Structure 1
């Protein structure tokens, strides 16, 4: 977009003006203060101040009457003198379970590109996400933001609109903007969780299961994609529609053991012999509960987990769909730095990555009929306790 396309120049925020200046510099290599001030409808003094700020950040070189992009030699010397590197902000909803691997990938890519990554932990709350981004915006030299925001409901939709309006690049990690939100500038990299769920269902089908259920966590943004993939796969394979589906474990205050007993009873009633379970911690708890009830895993019930954070710690080890978490972080930084370098001339990128299916003992072998309900009431010795991180 040319500077001539700017609307409402007099009311533009300073960050927006500087983004326009950088777009013009990337497109033409130089700007003049007089021309830019006239096109944006602001004073020449205002543009000089913007140029001074950009120069202090090492983004431009001041020349008589305007500015040019700095040469690579100039950038190197400036960085050595100031001891600074380009700054990338990152906001994630959690600093444990799933997100450390995404952060690790982002940090590795930032280091490889000579950038500096600043991570802020947030929560699954749109207002908190916004506060963390606002804190990053106050940092000198911020080039762009990678974020995994809350996207649901009106608070999430408002957050996406606000992120789309920011004057610097924003890349979503493991999130997408809903189609009803015109977030035309937002880029993202996300795992195709629906594809991963379909892989799990097809694996279980190949092992001989003909009624395959699904347990999900309604609090997780991943669940709706896992559920969609499960529904598509069971429909394609002709699996009965009454296979067990449950998203209530732990939600209503009942002991989890009672809820697992209810799920097992429903599996028996519907002939469900295998379950896809999101997330790992719930899958581990379910497998332990089955073994406590004398139900063999695999055999009477096969299980595939989704996330592969702790599934391998169970006994038996649980098969799991593994999103490419490290690569999500790496690619998000690549998209961001590409946008910073090329500006608005670069097409918007929206990338989906396929997960892997890691097959372990919990899903191997043909199904066996679930034993009678009466035998469930005689516990067998519990397996060694799994210590979850």
Structure 2
């Protein structure tokens, strides 16, 4: 047996190993699994077939991927009547949310839950319209939603959700304490901690003058800012650049001017590191700095938040990654438990920790400034 080979695994244990690898990397190859698990490729193909029949993955040539939102095949295990039918409304079916949906679908197949997915926008009125359509269908037992939660419109939407006669689990959202809502549950990444972790990473590299750039349209930004402000105060760092703007939504001319203005401020304030949310903004800042002749990360370290495309930067961008698929999985688990146990179950509100992935865009500051 070579150093890479493992003792043979059997039955459910082998299939659990396949799913663990899928959740870790997003895809698997039959040949690699057969070698690593010490079984024939035919055995792995049968395992993949069984998992696909349960709706847990999507078969592709030579292997499998996590269940894709584009996979319209019906799992054999789901052909019978599901235990519960749950509506799911998210503000986008791409970028960040596609991973959340993949996790939710995988968990739904395991829990005997049928998901009815609807895409909305970031407008509270559109979200309410999509939720209402699910309610009027009369066929859903509960709702998984990612609603607007800020301002008068967001607060009104949350209060309406609280009043509904069926359980609601928020995804990557939570209700402000001032609303005193008691029945709504949620599963969210601890984005406040994300801001703290970003500041600690930069401080550990000797950066003392640091700035932040967040996306103005994102509900995540205020949470990141809260953690960031708390941490830089406790760490004794000097806040410099502070901008809340969506550079990726500006047209070419305005975007170029905004980036020039940002980098001029970075230079003028001797800022050595930036936290940027989200990845597209981080890539824009990095590319513009390089085009202006900056040496990165020597002149400016960049840490991104989301980690959707950050690793494609040059150099690859250090990023904090919310556990997007696990958010979807846990949301379905919380909903299934609520539907199974009813009102006697205490309300559950879950916060998951983002993971730091260190890459080449952040470097130690030799002079500690």
TM-score > 0.5, shorter chain as reference: yes
Measured after TM superposition, the shift of residue 365 of structure 1 is 3.1
- Count of residues in Structure 1 that have an aligned counterpart in Structure 2: 291
Measured after TM superposition, the shift of residue 96 of structure 1 is 0.8
Please state whether the residue corresponding to 2:238 is helix, strand or coil: coil
Label 1:104 to 1:249 Cα distance change in 2 as closer, same or farther (>3 A).
closer
Partner residue in 1 for 2:3: none
Label 1:367 to 1:304 Cα distance change in 2 as closer, same or farther (>3 A).
farther
Label 1:347 to 1:119 Cα distance change in 2 as closer, same or farther (>3 A).
same
For residues 107-163 of structure 1, the C-alpha deviation after alignment (integer angstroms, 9 at most, x for no partner) is: 111000111111100011111111111111133441111000011111111111111
Partner Cα distance (1:231, 1:357) in 2: 19
CA contact 1:299–1:368 (8 Å) conserved in 2: no
For residues 77-121 of structure 1, the C-alpha deviation after alignment (integer angstroms, 9 at most, x for no partner) is: xx99x9321211100000111001111111111000111111100
Partner residue in 2 for 1:67: none
Partner Cα distance (1:313, 1:223) in 2: 22
Partner Cα distance (1:287, 1:105) in 2: 31
Partner residue in 2 for 1:126: 124
Name the Cα RMSD after superposition. Answer: 2.2
Label 1:266 to 1:352 Cα distance change in 2 as closer, same or farther (>3 A).
same
CA contact 1:300–1:367 (8 Å) conserved in 2: no
CA contact 1:172–1:188 (8 Å) conserved in 2: yes
For residues 8-41 of structure 1, the C-alpha deviation after alignment (integer angstroms, 9 at most, x for no partner) is: xxxxxxxxxxxxxxxxxxxxxxxxxxxxxxxxxx
Partner residue in 1 for 2:144: 146
Label 1:368 to 1:238 Cα distance change in 2 as closer, same or farther (>3 A).
closer
CA contact 1:201–1:234 (8 Å) conserved in 2: yes
Corresponding position: 1:246 with 2:243: yes
Measured after TM superposition, the shift of residue 208 of structure 1 is 1.6
Please state whether the residue corresponding to 1:84 is helix, strand or coil: coil
Partner residue in 2 for 1:199: 197
Q: Displaced runs of 4+ in structure 1, greater than 2 A?
A: 138-141, 248-254, 364-370
The counterpart of 1:111, out of the listed 89, 96, 109, is 109
The counterpart of 1:182, out of the listed 167, 180, 183, is 180
Please state whether the residue corresponding to 1:351 is helix, strand or coil: strand
Label 1:249 to 1:171 Cα distance change in 2 as closer, same or farther (>3 A).
closer
Q: Taking structure 2 as the reference length, what is the TM-score of the superposition? A: 0.75
Residues 328-367 of structure 1: pairs in structure 2 closer than 5 A: 328-366=327-365
Label 1:367 to 1:148 Cα distance change in 2 as closer, same or farther (>3 A).
farther
CA contact 1:299–1:367 (8 Å) conserved in 2: no
CA contact 2:208–2:368 (8 Å) conserved in 1: no
Partner residue in 2 for 1:385: none
Measured after TM superposition, the shift of residue 207 of structure 1 is 1.2
CA contact 2:207–2:368 (8 Å) conserved in 1: no
Measured after TM superposition, the shift of residue 239 of structure 1 is 1.2
Partner residue in 1 for 2:23: none
Partner Cα distance (1:369, 1:143) in 2: 56
Partner residue in 2 for 1:7: none
Residues 16-55 of structure 1: pairs in structure 2 closer than 5 A: none
Q: Who wins on radius of gyration, i.e. which is larger? A: 1
CA contact 1:148–1:174 (8 Å) conserved in 2: yes
Partner residue in 2 for 1:83: 80
Please state whether the residue corresponding to 1:362 is helix, strand or coil: coil
Corresponding position: 1:237 with 2:235: yes
Label 1:246 to 1:353 Cα distance change in 2 as closer, same or farther (>3 A).
same
Partner Cα distance (1:83, 1:109) in 2: 17
Please state whether the residue corresponding to 2:137 is helix, strand or coil: coil
CA contact 1:280–1:306 (8 Å) conserved in 2: yes
CA contact 1:303–1:318 (8 Å) conserved in 2: yes
Q: Taking structure 1 as the reference length, what is the TM-score of the superposition? A: 0.71
Please state whether the residue corresponding to 1:188 is helix, strand or coil: strand
